[in-house]
Every structure is written in structure tokens, then in C-alpha cells.
Structure 1
Amino acid sequence: MSEFSRVDRLKNEERETPIVKDKKPSKPKKKRKTFKRIILVLLALLIIFAVFSIYKLFSLSDDIHAPLNRETSSYRNSPVSHLSGYPISVVIFGVDSDSERGLAGGERSDAIMLLSINPKKKTTMMVSIPRDTRTEIVGYGTVEKINHAYAYGGPDMAVDTVENFMGAPVDHYVAMNMDSVKLLIDSVGGVKVKSNGTFTVKGIEFVEGETYHMDGDTALKFIRSRYEEGSGGDNGRQERQQLVLESLATKMLSPSGLLHMNTVFDTLGDNVKTDLSSREISLMALRYYGAKNNIEKYQLEGEDVVLEDGLWYFIPNTESFYDIQSKYLENLELQ
């Protein structure tokens, strides 16, 4: 057989040999339908959750909204724009509210914390002001403990007094019944906090550096401790307030915290007052969320003294005060 005949025969065999392509197994229609149903259910749940959140937020706004008697801070030329995401200053008052006036006034603020929140830098500065700090009570005409301002004139007088003391704007306030901290912590299933000291309070022992999962009752005892040996007095208590507040805020904004949203909203409605509207709360949640991951905590340094009136006062150290004030204004981009 010639070479050409052999080549022709091989070509003919190649043509006659069928080429079989591997076929990928098609997904069963039943599985595809099940997957689509799951997606639809998840989308429906997401829509229901969003609608419910909006409804609860606006309902909550009616319960907690208590505007200040002013248009803007006297330390601002104009109100800050939440839509543009400008740095803002917020003061939190922790009030043991047993009076008939409730959070409107009549009780002293047990805890005072200032927050400057910068969404551009994604930084938050938290400053604790000792409740016994001696300062002018703006609008009352006296010089006494700063925590008296809330009792005398509610949020308006307390905000004006804190602004005057700090020499910095306070754009918004949040007043919270201290007992609500216990309820909020329980509503989100507890919080994890690392102890800043070794001490025992009401039968509960804490060891410095150890992390504890606290329910509301335990956390409140942890916060309020100041006389127990090893608790660190007022400075230790202020630091514990910061630690618990930070942990609570983180838990409330976590996926597990959102699952308890209904209980959280109900608790807030009964125990919180703020000048923020529902729209502002929504915008701030979006614009300022990133700043929660970088929180710097500060406490004023100074000394406790007994003055001629026989009362204990906290007198801030001048150098420490101006250093913290400068950093606070810097985070607000006002310096």
C-alpha cells in the first residue's frame, strides 16, 4: 500500500469516529426552585426587618425626643450638618432618676461623658467629667458641683454648664436613667468587659485584666463601685463607666444585638431623652458608624479637696485640662 493510500485511510477513520463531548450534569429543577424560594424568603424577611426598624425608630423618636431650647451651640456659628458628616460633640448624662420630673430634671447627673466623633478620621474621643467637679452653673448664678446643673435646670442647664466648663461646643445630648443600663445590657444578652482593678463589690469579685461576661445587675455594680479597696475611687469608676458603655454600644450595633432590637427600643423609650430626631439618628448611624472602632478614652486629672462650705470638690489640674481640651477641639477640627 502506498504512503498516500495509508494517509487517506487514517483520515477516513478519523471522520467516521464520532466525537463525544463531556456533558456537565444539569442541576435538578427541584433544587433550583428550592434555592429560589430560600432567596425570596430571605428578601422578604429583610424587607420586613427594614420596615419594622423604620417603624420602631420613628415610634421611638416620639418617646425620647426632647429638644434643647436653642438652635445651636453658642460655640458654633451654625448647626453642624449630619448629612455632610461633620465632626460632632455629644454629652451623655447618666441620671439616677427617681423624681416626678424624671429625665426632665430634679436629679443630679451621676455620670457625665463627652464624646467628640469625627467620621472623616474615624475617631472618637471620650472624656469623663467627675460629677464633683467645681464649676460655674450657667443660668443659676452659682459655683458648685457640675452634677447639680441637671437637677436645677434639666438638659438645657446641664449642656450649657458642660460647654462653659469645657470651652467646647456640645451639639447634642443623651440623658439616660442609670437603671436603664442594666435593662439594656440584659436585653442584648450581656456584655464582655475587662476589669480595670481587683476588688470585691457586694459579693462579686473582679480581678484586674480578667474579662467577664456581665449581666445587667453585675455590670451596674461594677460601674458604681468606688469605695471598695482596689476599685480606684472616682477615677476607677469613671473608667468602668467608659468600658461598659463602649462594650454596650458595640453589642447593640452587632448582628446579635440587632436581633434584640425590639426589646432595646422599648427599653430606650422608657429611659432615654435626647434632642436628636429620628432622621438625625438614622443619618448618624450611617455617617458616624466607622468612628466606633477607634475610641480614645480620657479622664481629667486633679485633686479632691474640702472647701470652706464643708463639701468635697474635684479641682482639675490646669495642665491636664488644657491638654485634653486641645485634643477634644482638634478631633472636632476646631483647632
Structure 2
Amino acid sequence: MNENRSDRNKKRSRVKITIISIIVLMLVGVFWFLHSVYKSVDNNMSQSYSQIKETNGRDTSKLVKEGKPISILLLGTDTGALKRTDNGRTDTMMLITISKKNVKLTSIPRDTIVTIPGMEKETDLQKINSVYTFTNVSKTVSTVSKYLNVPIDYYALVNMGGLEKIVNQLGGIKVKSPLTFTFSPDTAHSYGKNLYKFYKGKTTFKYAKDGVHFKTYHKMNGAAALAFTRMRYEDPRSDYGRTQRQRLVIEQILKHTKDPRMLLNQKFMKSISSNVRTNISTKVMLSIATEYFSARKHVKATSIAESNFDYNGVDYEVLSNHEKQKVTNNLRSELELKHAKTGPILAGDSKKIVVPDELEELLYTSASPTN
């Protein structure tokens, strides 16, 4: 009797993973997608969910049931690959708004300068990708929500190991590079072992395990796709260029997953479940699939434009209050919410720290920033 119950539980877990995979492949089409089983969800999931719900004051289950627009914060951490096992940073941050009409991906630059609410004095000025490092996923969600004054209904936290596994499971992808660059994931620069060479306008690339003897390849495996999306220093558009390459990879993964069965074998699902944490339940996922199915055909992507700022030798991105208000207006419009002022200029209480005059000027200028 117990064995039969155990078998049924295993089947339910596999069904949950399969359902979630199909939904996201059809609806969002991004590689940080929401494969989850309850065993892989953070032990504090229910606490995180209640905190998020308390923060935005929305009955998310009711919104989904009625087919109202919802928001999901996708966080990609720099762990789970390249032998990294620490808490990591959320180097990829996308706020997704989903309605019956469309899906919109808004990329938040990882270097966006903020103060962490409640930790202003201890941490001073920080990059938004480090909020997770200092705190946890719930605090990261609430910081982004407060910064933009936009409710965040759900989150999904995916590490880099997930990207490699997805691309490898697909048998590789072809991506046309928007620029020529050389990159080693070992050094994060254009030298070292495991060296890749990508060429503008071409899907072919070269790779040398020893950094010297190159071979030509016509399709990216998981490691190559990860290298392609991670490079930042050689891109003249910095993080904006990197998010563009991430979206190119997303598009190709979407094209290669028109048949979800390619990803629905038990071995793959078991391997990727450890790479994801989310507060989206199976029941909610089923509702999303029903209510927002048509939105999969209309996916839009954009990135927040910011200005550069050097503080103590560290490069940050600054979003002026004027431009931040535009982002808030856009997101609240997507969610069919009333107009409201954007959130605190630095997310936390800027009065608790010393804000440099140059930063103050950038924060409150009405001029459009340059990319």
C-alpha cells in the first residue's frame, strides 16, 4: 500500500514538472523558466509568498482566475555553473508582465545603483544584483517592487546551471552574434583557457579548450551559450549588449522547443529541478495556462536605459527619477493599474547615507540617459 502511494506521489511530481514546463515554453519562452517540484522549492517558500503578498496587497490567485494581468520576477543567479556554489548575485533580472494580450520582458541592469531597504547604513550604495547576496529572494523581490512601485506577484530564481542543461537537452542552438568578441568563462575576459571566439553576423564560432588550438563549431552547446550570454566587458553597450545576447538565446530556445516533448523526459526534469526555486504553485500554473494561453504569440522585450556612474572605482548604472517614472508608468499600464509615483529614488532611504553630489545630479536630472 505504501509503495503504491509512493509511486503515485512520484507520478504527481513528474506531472507537475511537465505541466509547468509546457506552460512556460508556450507562454514565456525564456530559459530561466519555471521548472519546479515541491522538493526543489525553498523551505521558506510559504513565508516568501506571504511576504510578497503582504507587500503588494494583491489577491494573486483571484487575479489569475479572472485573467487579469500579473507580474513575475525572473532572477538568474551566477551560481550552479563554473564550480560556483555560493549564494551568488542575481546577474539576470527580468520583470515579466503577463496579460491575455501579451507577455512583456523588462530587463533590469544588474549594476543599477540602490540602497537596500532596512540595511542602508550597513551596506551603503550597492548594485541591485547584490541585494540577494546580502539578504534573500523575498527581500530581492520586495526591493525591486519598492524601487519601481510596481507589485510583483510571483518570482522564479534560476541558476546558471539550468541554462547549460536546457541547451544541451535541445541538442544545441544556433545564434547569430551581434558583434565580434573573444571570451573565456574562466577569466571573464578575452584570454585564458576555455576560450571562445564569436563573430558578428555569424552563427559559427571557434573554441579552444587550452586557449590556443581553436576548432570551428556550427552549433552552441550549453557551455558556449553560457559564455555567449555572460560577456560584458568587451561589449560597447556593456550590460545592455549582454541582455540583448540573452534575448537572442531565449529566442532560439523558444524556436527549438515548439515541441515540448523534447524536454519532458524524466532524467532531464530531475536534473533541472535543483536549479530552480519559485513560489508559483501547480494550481496557479494550470490557471495561467488556461487564462493567458494566447499571450504566447506576442512576446515583447525591453531594457531599462540608464547613465553610468563611477563611485569609489566601481561602475554603476543610474536611473534618473524622470526615467524611472516612465518605467513605472509603462509597467503599471501593462498591469492595468492606476498611475502612481515611482518608488524611492534608490529603493531604500537615501537620507540614511551620504549621496555624492554627482550621483544626486544624475538621479534628479530630467535629461534622457545615454546608452
Q: Shared fold by TM > 0.5?
A: yes
Look up the equivalent residue of 1:70 and give its one-letter code: S
Q: Alignment partner for residue 322 of structure 1, among 308, 321, 325?
A: 325
Shift of 1:170: 0.9
Q: Distance in 1 between matches of 2:319 and 2:242?
A: 17
Query: Over residues 262-317 of structure 1, what are the superposed CA-to-partner deviations in whole Å (9 max), with x where a residue is unaligned?
Result: 2442233111110111222232233333222212211111222112x442211014
Q: Alignment partner for residue 218 of structure 1, among 201, 220, 224?
A: 224
Q: 1:288–1:190: structure 2 CA closer, same or farther, 3 Å change rule?
A: farther
Q: 1:167–1:250: structure 2 CA closer, same or farther, 3 Å change rule?
A: farther
Partner residue, 1:180: 162
Partner residue, 1:275: 279
Which is greater in Rg? 1
Task: Say which structure, 1 or 2, has more relative contact order (CA 8 Å, 6+ apart).
Answer: 2
TM-score (norm 1): 0.73
Q: Alignment partner for residue 291 of structure 1, among 288, 295, 301?
A: 295
Q: Distance in 1 between matches of 2:328 and 2:236?
A: 27
Matches within 5 A, 1:183-262: 183-201=165-183, 202-208=195-201, 213-228=219-234, 230=235, 232-249=237-254, 251-252=256-257, 254-255=258-259, 257-262=260-265
Look up the equivalent residue of 2:337 and give its one-letter code: L
Q: 1:64–1:279: structure 2 CA closer, same or farther, 3 Å change rule?
A: farther
Look up the equivalent residue of 1:232 and give its one-letter code: R
Query: Over residues 27-79 of structure 1, what are the superposed CA-to-partner deviations in whole Å (9 max), with x where a residue is unaligned?
Result: xxxxxxxxxxxxxxxxxxxxxxx989526559942233332152515233433
Q: Distance in 2 between matches of 1:117 and 1:181?
A: 22
Q: Does 1:306 align with 2:299?
A: no
Q: Secondary structure at the match of 1:173?
A: strand
Q: Alignment partner for residue 55 of structure 2, among 66, 74, 91?
A: 74
TM-score (norm 2): 0.66
Look up the equivalent residue of 1:207 and give its one-letter code: K
Q: 1:172–1:185: structure 2 CA closer, same or farther, 3 Å change rule?
A: same
Look up the equivalent residue of 1:237 and give its one-letter code: R
Shift of 1:190: 2.5
Q: 1:184–1:52: structure 2 CA closer, same or farther, 3 Å change rule?
A: same
Q: Distance in 1 between matches of 2:243 and 2:68?
A: 28
Q: 1:118–1:107: structure 2 CA closer, same or farther, 3 Å change rule?
A: same
Q: Distance in 2 between matches of 1:188 and 1:249?
A: 11
Look up the equivalent residue of 2:41 and give its one-letter code: H
Q: Does 1:54 align with 2:15?
A: yes
Partner residue, 2:208: none
Look up the equivalent residue of 2:253 and give its one-letter code: L
Q: Secondary structure at the match of 1:130?
A: coil
Q: Alignment partner for residue 128 of structure 1, among 86, 104, 107?
A: 107
Q: Distance in 1 between matches of 2:298 and 2:255?
A: 12
Look up the equivalent residue of 2:246 and give its one-letter code: Q
Q: Distance in 2 between matches of 1:51 and 1:310?
A: 52
Q: Secondary structure at the match of 1:214?
A: coil
Look up the equivalent residue of 2:334 and give its one-letter code: N
Shift of 1:88: 0.9
Q: Secondary structure at the match of 2:56?
A: coil
Q: Alignment partner for residue 65 of structure 1, among 20, 41, 44?
A: 41
Partner residue, 2:68: 86
Q: Distance in 2 between matches of 1:289 and 1:251?
A: 19
